[in-house]
Structure 1
Amino acid sequence: MQQEQTTSIAPESVNPSANATTNEFLTFRLGNEEYGIEILKVQEIRNYHAITQIANAPEFIKGVVNLRGIIVPIVDMRIKFRLGNENYDEFTVVIIINVAGRVVGMVVDSVSDVICLAEEQMRPTPGLGSVIDTEYIMGLGTVDERMLILIDIEKLLSSNDMGLIDQNLN
């Protein structure tokens, strides 16, 4: 029997004396792109395991898992962002996030690392008109040659099509 591995991300691990203009992001991969979400929203990282499917759920909701007595909806970010078919392997993980008191799991291809971005390393979302919905993108982060798409996870989870957290809580 395979032992389930989890990695907890405790808010205490963030240096409270760090410069207020530095933002920490957990980075993850979906396909060839690298994304980042605020580290303070991350509760833990778990290996991908079987998920209980829910009838009539949107395609991007893979189902639910029981996480220490809490029923957690699992969202496949590859499907949500229309990035093609999911390919689950040994690197596939579920990032458990806690936003506005709601716990949600996000399936991603892999987790990279935690990155600190200074204000000068963060750029606003480029104007792409109505061609691409950039409502959930906080901006772009640059570290050396890496470009990160920074996701506003609260806006994404409270969007009309997901509705996983109450919009009035923001």
Structure 2
Amino acid sequence: MIPQTDTAASVADPRQIAEIEADTIADMYLTFALGDEEYGVGIAGVTEIVGMQRIMPIPDMPPYLKGVINLRGKVIPLMDVRLRFRMPERAYDDRTVIIVMEVEDAPVGLIVDGVREVREIPPGQIDAHMRGRDGARSVIAGIGRVGDRVSVLLDPPVLVSDEDLTLMRQSEGA
């Protein structure tokens, strides 16, 4: 005979479930490759990952702002993260992808060499935040460690600066 259980006591409060899910998502990072290094962005800001598409160049932009794509009727400005970090340019291939994110209520596509995985990196496994020159915020939010793997965790609002967002918004209206 199967013992009876109090189902009301075994069911979690929906608010507790939402808090647990929010905490879990806050610790999840989409990792990607740039050259031989691994970088990551918080999964909460990622909308989708798409393969390379035809890019419409926009004149008078910094070299790392490659142009825009039309993704299901939505114009998405693209930033080549490799060029943003002053790494050598490389031809896009079948592993190159666009990580579409919402950064300060604006869609942005980050072009990266390839996606690796979604990993949970708890706050206790993230080394102290790094600072830019003169105490300015850095594009690096921290260094995440899981086992023997290290990921440079990026701060998307700093990666996509206010100036870049302004240029991108202007290009959408063009």
TM-score normalised according to structure 2 size: 0.76
Larger Rg: 2
Aligned length: 149
1:104 and 2:108 equivalent? yes
Please state which structure has a larger fraction of its residues in strand: 1
1:156 maps to which residue? 159
> Offset of 1:18 from its aligned partner?
4.2
Matches within 5 A, 1:1-170: 16=18, 17-18=20-21, 20=23, 23-126=27-130, 130=133, 135-160=138-163, 162-164=164-166
1:7 maps to which residue? none
Contact 1:79 1:86 in 2 (8 A): no
| One-letter amino acid matched to 1:106 | L
- CA 1:19/1:156 → structure 2, altered by over 3 Å: closer, same or farther? closer
Structure 1 runs, 4 residues or longer, greater than 4 Å off: none
Partner SS for 1:163:
helix
Percent identity between matched residues is 35
Distance (whole Å) between structure 2 residues aligned to residue 82 and residue 122 of structure 1: 25
Please state which structure has a larger fraction of its residues in helix: 2
Partner SS for 1:20:
helix
Distance (whole Å) between structure 1 residues aligned to residue 23 and residue 43 of structure 2: 14
What whole-Å deviation, never above 9, does each CA across 1:81-115 have from its counterpart, x for those lacking one?
Answer: 11111231110000000122210101000000101
> Offset of 1:20 from its aligned partner?
3.0
- CA 1:55/1:67 → structure 2, altered by over 3 Å: closer, same or farther? same
Contact 2:125 2:144 in 1 (8 A): yes
Contact 1:44 1:97 in 2 (8 A): yes
Distance (whole Å) between structure 2 residues aligned to residue 79 and residue 37 of structure 1: 17
